[in-house]
Structure 1
Amino acid sequence: MMRFPSSALRAKRLFIAISATLLAGCASFSADGGMDDVSELTRQRTGQAVQRDGAAEASAVSRETLFALLAEPLMPDSAVRIALLNNKGLQASFAELGIAEASLVQAGRLRNPGFSFGHIRGGNEIEIDRSVMFDLVGLLTMPVRRGIEQRRFEQAKLFAASQAVALAAATRRAYFNAVAAQQAARYAQQVAEAAEATSELAQRMAKSGNRSKLDQAREQAFHADAVAQLARSRHNATAAREQLTRLLGLWGADAGYQLPERLPDLPKAPSESSQVEAQAMAQRLDVQMARQGAQATASALGLSRATRFIDVFEAGYANKSTSDAPRANGYEVSLELPLFDWGGARVARAEALYMQAVQRTADIAIRARSEVREAYSAYRTGYDVARHYRDEVVPLRKKISDEVLLRYNGMLASVFELLADARDQVSAVNRAIDAQRDFWIAETDLQAAINGSGGASTPLRSPAASSEPTAQAH
């Protein structure tokens, strides 16, 4: 232990106290907890802002907004707004922001000083030792540590925004599934009612001798299949609606929201693909998170190298007093000697983590480019298929149905031909609904591939395959 004059000691103590006070004052929590940046990132990618559940006044405003949105038939954008406002799972994910900011604030605060006190009595002599120790390494490396935690806080903001964008995309998919399932159920209801009327007419005609038992059995079988298909369609509509309800975070009376009767019309023309890859590289949140992670790891590598040999270095005020001598003042230095651990393993670990982060960033960027190309292919194919059903298949099936009905009325076509054509028409309409739904889901996946963390990465379903049970049922 070394001793300095008390005047120099007081100056050093004052310097340390002022430095600690200034540094502690710089480390404080932000007013918004990072939510303003998260809301802006989400708004840029979804058109909707987000907010964290907080004061009673904010909750009341959110509730009024929710009531206003539920008062009208639900549209895609209003469904997304409700989900971002009301989904409790999203609100739970926002807690990660608080954790990251707490680490940032902690990194900007000096470690509490250590105080030691010793009291020794020997005969008539009493010896008292006192010391206050400050972490000098922590003070010197504080800017670096704070920079690391700042980047991690920014990464947490990106993660929170990616959760919100992913929820918005999932809500839009569930919305289009629910509207399409409801539309298919209503069409199945119309088919079942028409089949019931035809079956009753066939029964009356059979009783009067104007219809054979075979024709009557065929029409009754068509009615029975239509009833079964209606039951399945109603369940599918219920299941799709409940999936949407879960994402919206609704329950009780709020779950009685209204959906439009049919899917939105196709746009006049599809979007072009010239800039989708560039947009994905600039806007995808998982790419930005990977870059932030690599930068934070690089800073951590620099810190590991800086503290390779000296990881514990403390200095502070000390004094000693004995019974027969005046109090002696000085300072005490505590230094960890690198005899057994020279920090090589710690640096090697940091270097390995950095290379891992770099390679992961490159992998995410490569996959993002591929995903956005795949998503655009699904989007463009979905548009072409849906337009083909709208402009070609459904009008052609209607024309064929009208011709078969005319031939049947002129006794040039049999009941079997009429029912076979009815089955084909029902199948064509259901396929058209599926194709229109698949386009809007593909459009949602494309936006997710550009803005969020990737789309659903699922191939377009074949309309023939998705509607095959309907065709077989009839």
Structure 2
Amino acid sequence: MPPRIIILAVTTVLAGCTTFDPGRDHVAIEKLLADRGAPSLGWEQNDQGEQETQAQQSVAAQPMTADLAVKTAMLRSPRLQQIYGELGLARADVLDAVQVANPRISLSSLALAGGPGSQFVFGVAEPLVDLLTLPAKARLARLDYERARYEVAASILGVSLDVEAAWYRYVGAQQVAEMRAAVADGLQVSADLAQRFYDAGNITELQLNREKAAASQARIEATRAAVAGKMARLELNNAIGLRGAEADWKSDTVLPLPLAHEDDVSELQRLAQSSSLELLAAQKGAVVAAGAARITRSFRLLGATTVGYDRERDVDRSVIRGPTLDIELPIFNQGGARVARTEARLRIARARLAQLALASGNAVGLGAERVRVLSEVVGLYRTALVPQREIVTRQSQLEQNFALIGEFEVLQAKAQEYEAYQGFLEAVRDYWLARVDLMRLVGNRLPSDAEARQNTPTVSEILTPPAAPAMDHSMHGGHHGGGAPPPAGPAPSGSPAPPPAMPGMVHDHVPTPDASPPPSPPPAPTPEHQHHGAGQ
């Protein structure tokens, strides 16, 4: 076989070593996502739109839960399509980096001036470095493509966690907005009551404006909370990929309570070492950088050396043929810049790997500690602050029933109780957002996700607890704190019963106020006694 045919055949075969099958990308990425608890990437197989239609029907037919939001995003999110498209760019970059240079063919026809015949020369040449390094480059190219797959899968997993976090922010913002509206309504009632008392001459202008200012401040905060809820809904729709009529979904869900048991930190750190896609991608990147530096150092002196084959037909029709070697003498440029560049990339890759490995340990530990602390904060709300505020409200109602305090104090206690509920809901929201951040660091669903969950009380349950027995307000002719005296009537038939406690809260460690009437204040001295006391 002629040598030129051998050179062309070898070049073609070696070039085939660098091809990739794009059809395997979807399978490989789906497996990476499934191993980490992420839903299936649906849009890539959604050419006919059947799955998208089913997703639209699901969104319209049922409340928007966290799972439904993530599954819908896997079909609709334009960001996912952009990320998946970046894998095609990575494939092209890898192929371009290891592609063998095309063989160069030279043709020449020379003739003597005025002489018979001509000299015809045909040659084919190929860069020697490409031929020698192609097998190693092909191996590194496959490793680099695996790195690109890890990065794409990590980005897709990040999108699913972004959607989940956006859902928690939306639900939390909705519940907080409802609580702020309830506080504003309660303080507005207090302001209206203060206006009536002021008109009747029972309170001063200072007391009136204090109540009005509190109501105005509460209304401002309620308006801000309502806007924050709308913005959170818009952010969730953007993360999912919904707009127009399809974005008008319903949601009657509430935030779940924190889990009873959190994951062990050492277990999470071990899981991060094996599951973090960013860490796996960095490991592949360091291997590729080391291989590239090794190849560059080994062949840096060859430069643009080419190997080829020439065939020459002389004037007398005789043929001369044989291999050729075109050597670049490494006198001035010995490839030092190429070596320095690849070694710098190797140092960067190793430093990034070390940084991610450090983060997978320390950051996971810090994230787990944050989740634990926020769980304790929620527990303090449930077992201490909220039950205590409930008791203050009930005790204030009892004292107001016996005319020991006025209506303003009761309304203020109720507003403080609602604010405690708002803080509780915000703490629950922050807890779940911290868990999502921890999942990002671990690169996987947390083992405790399988634990059964309980929901927080709905805002309607907070605002309308079960009704307490009716209270007889008779025979309490006095008033306190600016409250209007109740009308006279028959004697009370029994002691008042406090309102029931809110579901979802723990009252084991908080004493319940006694329903019996509080002690009456000492009777005011009569004018006769006052005169007698003054005379003494």
Is the structural similarity TM-score above 0.5? yes
8 Å CA contact 1:107–1:146 kept in 2: the answer is no
Q: Which residue of 1 aligns with 2:35?
A: 44
Quote the Cα distance in structure 2 between the aligned partners of 1:330 and 1:246: 66
Q: Does 1:413 align with 2:405?
A: yes
TM-score between the two structures when normalised by the length of structure 1:
0.85
- Which region of structure 1 is more displaced relative to structure 2, 117-126 or 375-384? 117-126
Counterpart pick for 1:35 among 10, 26, 45: 26
State the secondary structure of the residue aligned to 1:337.
Answer: coil
Q: Does 1:306 align with 2:298?
A: yes
User: Based on CA coordinates, which of the two structures has the bigger radius of gyration?
Assistant: 2
Quote the Cα distance in structure 1 between the aligned partners of 2:165 and 2:278: 20
Q: Does 1:138 align with 2:130?
A: yes
Quote the Cα distance in structure 2 between the aligned partners of 1:339 and 1:217: 91
Q: Does 1:21 align with 2:9?
A: no
Q: Which residue of 1 aligns with 2:426?
A: 434
8 Å CA contact 2:296–2:342 kept in 1: the answer is yes
State the secondary structure of the residue aligned to 2:23.
Answer: coil
Q: Which residue of 2 aligns with 1:455?
A: none
Q: Which residue of 2 aligns with 1:249?
A: 241
Quote the Cα distance in structure 2 between the aligned partners of 1:19 and 1:49: 42
8 Å CA contact 1:382–1:439 kept in 2: the answer is yes
Q: Identity rate of aligned residues, in percent?
A: 27
Shift of 1:440: 0.7
State the secondary structure of the residue aligned to 2:36.
Answer: helix
- Which region of structure 1 is more displaced relative to structure 2, 246-255 or 352-361? 352-361
Quote the Cα distance in structure 2 between the aligned partners of 1:204 and 1:346: 86
Shift of 1:432: 0.6
State the secondary structure of the residue aligned to 1:133.
Answer: strand
Shift of 1:35: 2.9
Quote the Cα distance in structure 2 between the aligned partners of 1:344 and 1:112: 26
Q: Which residue of 2 aligns with 1:93?
A: 83
Structure 1 segments unaligned to the other structure (5+ residues): 1-9, 453-474
State the secondary structure of the residue aligned to 1:376.
Answer: helix
Between Structure 1 and Structure 2, which shows a larger proportion of helix residues? Answer: 1
The one-letter amino acid paired with 2:65 is: M
Structure 2 segments unaligned to the other structure (5+ residues): 445-536
The one-letter amino acid paired with 2:405 is: A
- Which region of structure 1 is more displaced relative to structure 2, 92-101 or 339-348? 339-348
Q: Which residue of 1 aligns with 2:343?
A: 351
State the secondary structure of the residue aligned to 1:170.
Answer: helix
Q: Which residue of 2 aligns with 1:124?
A: 115
8 Å CA contact 2:186–2:415 kept in 1: the answer is no
State the secondary structure of the residue aligned to 1:262.
Answer: coil
**What RMSD in Å do the two structures reach over aligned CA positions?**
2.6
State the secondary structure of the residue aligned to 2:265.
Answer: coil
Change (3 A) 1:190 1:271: same
Shift of 1:369: 1.4
8 Å CA contact 1:133–1:317 kept in 2: the answer is yes
Shift of 1:196: 4.5
8 Å CA contact 1:35–1:51 kept in 2: the answer is no
TM-score between the two structures when normalised by the length of structure 2:
0.75
Q: Which residue of 2 aligns with 1:319?
A: 311
CA deviations on 1:156-180 (whole Å, 9 max, x unpaired) are: 1111112122222222222111111
Change (3 A) 1:217 1:409: farther
Counterpart pick for 1:265 among 257, 267, 272: 257
The one-letter amino acid paired with 1:101 is: R
Quote the Cα distance in structure 2 between the aligned partners of 1:340 and 1:326: 40
Quote the Cα distance in structure 2 between the aligned partners of 1:101 and 1:186: 50
Change (3 A) 1:213 1:42: same
Counterpart pick for 1:56 among 38, 47, 68: 47
Quote the Cα distance in structure 2 between the aligned partners of 1:55 and 1:265: 36
Q: Which residue of 2 aligns with 1:65?
A: 55
Runs of 4+ in 1 over 6 A off after TM superposition: none
Shift of 1:76: 1.6
Quote the Cα distance in structure 1 between the aligned partners of 2:355 and 2:267: 21
8 Å CA contact 1:116–1:130 kept in 2: the answer is yes
Quote the Cα distance in structure 2 between the aligned partners of 1:297 and 1:128: 46
State the secondary structure of the residue aligned to 1:45.
Answer: coil
Quote the Cα distance in structure 2 between the aligned partners of 1:426 and 1:26: 68
Q: Which residue of 2 aligns with 1:464?
A: none
CA deviations on 1:88-146 (whole Å, 9 max, x unpaired) are: 12321222211222234445653221111112232224222111223343122111111
Q: Which residue of 2 aligns with 1:282?
A: 274
Change (3 A) 1:33 1:69: farther
Q: Which residue of 1 aligns with 2:481?
A: none
- Which region of structure 1 is more displaced relative to structure 2, 302-311 or 265-274? 265-274
State the secondary structure of the residue aligned to 2:251.
Answer: coil
Q: Which residue of 2 aligns with 1:82?
A: 72
Quote the Cα distance in structure 2 between the aligned partners of 1:12 and 1:149: 29
CA deviations on 1:437-456 (whole Å, 9 max, x unpaired) are: 1111111111111117xxxx
Change (3 A) 1:232 1:345: closer
- Which region of structure 1 is more displaced relative to structure 2, 88-97 or 219-228? 219-228
The one-letter amino acid paired with 2:11 is: A
State the secondary structure of the residue aligned to 2:63.
Answer: coil
Change (3 A) 1:343 1:76: same
Q: What is the count of residue pairs matched by the alignment?
A: 441
Shift of 1:332: 2.5
Quote the Cα distance in structure 2 between the aligned partners of 1:205 and 1:220: 13
The one-letter amino acid paired with 1:227 is: R
Q: Which residue of 1 aligns with 2:468?
A: none
Shift of 1:261: 4.3
Change (3 A) 1:440 1:230: same
